[in-house]
Structure 1
């Protein structure tokens, strides 16, 4: 049976910062699922620059193509655009709920800690970290209410990215291929658990 795996969200989900498609998050995770013996049909609906308000369009595309497993990565652009947490989380809730109604298992990676980005002045890092954490917690509550699964990998990944600049691409904002490998490794157990539960 073919596993229809769809990736939705922003530039992190789309793979900005990679030089080859095989390095992107969706392709890395699809490869992990294939290595576990699954026949995977990968569809990437993520768009660079997307905010939570853009998820509805991506969800419609994913549902139209058929979806068994969905990964949603969203929140960074909401933070940079100062979208209120309750607004972004509400839109994320609706997206997860729609995917669930279509029969998908949904895994969500919430907003990252943007304080690790080198562009953030040191004096503002605590403030940015606090805002990022609040946004991610609000998202997580909404995801759980909609029936999705939260992959709580943010703190672990933030510490790694903060200590190793090689995990960032040349723009010092998006991950490098090595950074995407780290993110994929952190997310893979949640996807594998969802697939095993479905089986």
Structure 2
């Protein structure tokens, strides 16, 4: 199975002290344990926004893809990309991958209110904006035939309560944080393979 990771720094594994503790290898290991032969490639680029998915999708399709996992949205939020713009770009990426025969699982924008750099007075606003962005993404992914993994529901409270889930930069996940995210992503990935 050709597993491809697309998206931003979280999909690329920035912040982890070990490559094996990043999303691609963690998901691949879980799928191998379930009996799948997995060929993993990571096309994700740190700093990527939804607009950057087009090039990543082209690379994934060119090399062959059976299952694409996309993690995108944090940089759209920090760069104030309008939700309808980023959602349409994500829709197009998912639609292109589906057109190439790939199953697609998307982890939408995280709730950035849990990041330490966000002033407490702004956390409610940042949380609301993050949720609205993720909702627009969810609708776009479903329209394009993809599946949304509701990672933020499972991990936001954990990241808010446990600073060790963040790397030293207090923005990206640590190795422990990536294990939490992978655990939340895995059920959706496994479900699309059984469909």
TM-score, normalized by length of structure 2? 0.99
Matches within 5 A, 1:132-143: 132-143=130-141
| Contact 2:71–2:106 (8 Å) recurs in 1 | yes
In structure 2, runs of 5+ residues without a counterpart are: none
1:85 to partner: Cα distance: 0.1
1:8 equivalenced with 2:6 (yes/no): yes
Range 150-159 or range 171-180, more displaced: 150-159
Q: Work out the CA distance in 2 between the residues paired with 1:146 and 1:181.
A: 28
- Which of 57, 61, 64 aligns to 1:66? It is 64
1:21 to partner: Cα distance: 1.1
1:155 to partner: Cα distance: 2.3
Matches within 5 A, 1:46-61: 46-61=44-59
When the two chains are superposed, the root-mean-square deviation of aligned CA atoms in Å is 0.5
Q: Work out the CA distance in 1 between the residues paired with 2:65 and 2:137.
A: 22
Q: Work out the CA distance in 2 between the residues paired with 1:152 and 1:183.
A: 10
> Following TM superposition, where does structure 1 have runs of at least 4 consecutive aligned residues deviating by more than 6 angstroms?
none
SS at match of 2:186: helix
- Which of 165, 171, 174 aligns to 2:172? It is 174
In structure 1, runs of 5+ residues without a counterpart are: none
Q: Work out the CA distance in 2 between the residues paired with 1:66 and 1:19.
A: 29
Q: Number of aligned pairs? A: 195
SS at match of 1:42: strand
